[in-house]
Amino acid sequence: MRKIVVGTRQSALALTQTGQVVDQLKQLCEQHGIACEFEIKKIVTKGDRILDVTLSKVGGKGLFVKEIEQALFDGEIDMAVHSMKDMPFELPEGLVIGAIPEREDARDCLISGKGYTLDDLPQGALVGTSSLRRASQLQHRRPDLRIASIRGNIDSRLRKLESEGFDAIVLASAGMRRMGWADRTEHLLPPEHCVPAVGQGALCIECRGGDGFVLELLGRFQHEPTALAVRAERAFLGSLNGGCQVPLGAYAVVAPDTGSGAEPLLTISAIVGTPDGKTLLREELSGTNPEELGLAVAAKLKARGADRILAEVREEVQ
């Protein structure tokens, strides 16, 4: 029997979503008569250790994955469960994305404890988020809002909503739903108002490229429509050399299968903006090749000055 050690961050959300993945893999093994057992290993990452600085100022890519990837290289773990939005575009040589499971709700949600929508928030309301992407889009729609950084796990940020005087905070809906707190999400921000982060709501199962047993198992776990959408979003990310330090977002959806046998049609919406929201560039395209689609929407934004905006933002946060 093969023992598979699964690496994860140690936050409550990371452990919850990893536990859900392991439960699904166990069911898959039972269905296909695959003999293996699973163990979860908690790993602390740089992003978990530095909580008093905004993500844009911590710098570097892979804040939440590098230590976990090292454990893969060292053979301490056999696969890792990441939030896809934490994954840099380029993976270290020897590591691969073994599976992308079905996506959870990709939208952001606004939580106030008072039932506010984004448009209902009082004039000059204080809104907490650690994301330049969210800040840019929120202030573009509501220039009067005051945006303040808020870091920490979901539960600590929910506590800070009350203890630190915020009128509202913005979180990923997927995390709230995975924690069983969907009833607390209050107001879901439609992608037309707030384009999600690349890969938001999706998980990434990473493993060693030479581990045939794990790769074959994960191949059965792949959700192809989610994988197609994420491939388009990540192509966009790679073209703009993006990360959590810059205000950009992309969200792709796959048209329902009509049974015609034609290639699935994808539509991607993407934004690049200034942190203050005064400039927000947005483009939308449709196509059937995910990588070409992601590169094409990035090119359209570059033609409108996206590269210049991102270069200025990177210079400011260094």
Structural domain includes residue 158: yes
Residue (of 295, 291, 270) closest to 281 by Cα position: 270
53 and 86, same domain (yes or no): yes
Q: How confident is the model at residue 58 (pLDDT cuts 50, 70, 90)?
A: very low
Share of the chain above pLDDT 70, in %: 93
Residues taking part in catalysis? 86
Residue 197 within any structural domain of the chain: no
Give the count of domains, the chain: 3
pTM exceeds 0.85: yes
* Domain span at 256: 230-317
Q: What is the domain-level CATH number for residue 164?
A: 3.40.190.10
In a domain, 165, yes or no: yes
152 is written with which tokens? 């920490």
Do the domain assignments include residue 239? yes
Residue 195 lies in a domain: no
Q: Is residue 194 a part of any domain in this protein?
A: no
* Residue 196 falls inside a structural domain: no
Specify whether 182 is located in the same domain as 114.
yes
- Domain match, 78 and 141 both: no
Specify the range with the lowest mean pLDDT, choosing from 37-51, 213-227, 232-246. Answer: 37-51
Q: Is the pLDDT of residue 241 over 70?
A: yes
Q: Assign 272 to helix, strand or coil.
A: strand
d(CA 275, CA 133): 7
**79 shares its domain with 167:** no
In the predicted structure, residue 318 carries a pLDDT above the cut 70: no
308 and 274 within one domain: yes
The answer on 213 and 78 residing in a single domain is yes
Question: Checking DSSP bridges between strand 146-148 and strand 126-128, what pairing results, if any?
Answer: parallel
Range 216-238 burial, b when 16+ CB lie within 10 A, else e: ebbeebebebbbbbbbbbbbbbb
pLDDT at position 124 is 97
Same domain, 12 and 96: yes
**Confidence at 289, pLDDT banded by 50, 70, 90:** very high
Q: Are 15 and 34 contained in the same domain?
A: yes
Domain for residue 242, yes or no? yes
The token duo for 52 is 């008093």
pLDDT band at 151 (very low <50, low <70, confident <90, very high): confident
Residues 170 and 214 in one domain: no
Q: Provide the CA 71 distance to its chain's centre, in angstroms.
A: 22
Q: What CATH number should be reported for the domain holding residue 300?
A: 3.30.160.40
Strands 36-42 and 2-8: parallel
* Same-domain status, 81 and 117: no
14 shares its domain with 160: no
Q: Are residues 166 and 216 in the same domain?
A: no
